[in-house]
């Protein structure tokens, strides 16, 4: 069992390295963000994961909203950096039908401590292998973190961000879907 978690940790470290490489290449070359065109415009994949209290939630609970689905981990520096942005955007756009949902690929207690410290104001789901599988269904072939998927009100994937989601991109994406 312990060996399986070590393997998951190694996979995520490789994912972070890959995500940081993509970000570095984009910054250095000023290239447009990578689009996962095979996943864009597809209907969101249905899944169920528990929240911080163990209550299971299905993604369809939030259907009809603009969903910002963020796959992340407490040990991921870009994930930590974008959390305050997500808190601000949830507060700013929540009443207009925007719903951020975190999917933590991490230890439950670490996620509880992190969300308490940051004052996270949006649903937080927790998974390990299940969450990795779900991220792959949403186009995250390399397991990079953070990985954010924006789903429109009709349940179609509108935007994918491999790596940190910046405020200007987030707001532009949200506004076009309201």
Global pTM value = 0.79
Band (161; pLDDT cuts 50, 70, 90): very high
Torsion of CA 141, 147, 150, 151, to 10 degrees: 50
- Rounded to whole angstroms, the Cα distance separating 123 from 100 reads 7
On the question of pLDDT at 166 being above 90, the answer is yes
On the question of pLDDT at 35 being above 80, the answer is no
Domain total in the chain: 1
Q: Which of 154, 11, 134 is nearest to 125 (CA)?
A: 134
Is 118 within 8 Å of 96 (Cβ atoms)? no
Q: Which CATH number does the domain housing residue 62 bear?
A: 3.40.30.10
Coil, strand, or helix at residue 94? helix
The boundaries of the domain holding residue 122 are 2-177
Is 66 within 8 Å of 177 (Cβ atoms)? yes
pLDDT at 115: 98
pLDDT at 81: 97
- In order, the DSSP letters of 36-91 are -TTTTTSBPPP-EEEBTTS-EEEGGGGBTBEEEEEEE-TT-HHHHHHHHHHHHHHH
pLDDT, mean of residues 95-109: 97
Q: Which residues contact 19 (CB under 8 A, 6 or more apart)?
A: 78, 142, 144, 145, 146, 147, 162, 163
Output 7 or 60, whichever has higher pLDDT.
Answer: 60
On the question of pLDDT at 178 being above 80, the answer is yes
- Rounded to whole angstroms, the Cα distance separating 111 from 37 reads 31
Coil, strand, or helix at residue 126? strand
On the question of pLDDT at 41 being above 50, the answer is yes
């Amino acid at each position: 069992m312990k060996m399986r978690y070590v393997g998951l940790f190694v996979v995520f470290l490789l994912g972070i390295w890959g995500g940081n490489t993509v970000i570095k290449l984009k910054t250095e070359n000023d290239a447009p963000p990578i689009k996962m065109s095979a996943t864009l415009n597809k209907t969101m994949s249905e899944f169920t994961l528990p929240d911080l209290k163990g209550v299971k939630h299905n993604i369809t609970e939030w259907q009809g909203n603009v969903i910002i689905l963020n796959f992340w981990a407490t040990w991921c520096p870009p994930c930590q950096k974008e959390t305050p942005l997500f808190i601000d955007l949830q507060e700013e756009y929540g009443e207009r039908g925007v719903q951020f949902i975190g999917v933590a690929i991490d230890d439950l207690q670490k996620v509880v401590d992190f969300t308490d410290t940051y004052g996270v104001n949006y649903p937080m789901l927790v998974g390990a292998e299940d969450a990795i599988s779900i991220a792959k269904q949403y186009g995250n072939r390399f397991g990079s973190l953070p990985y954010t998927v924006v789903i429109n009100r009709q349940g179609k994937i509108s935007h994918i961000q491999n790596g940190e989601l910046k405020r200007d991109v987030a707001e532009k994406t949200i506004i076009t879907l309201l």
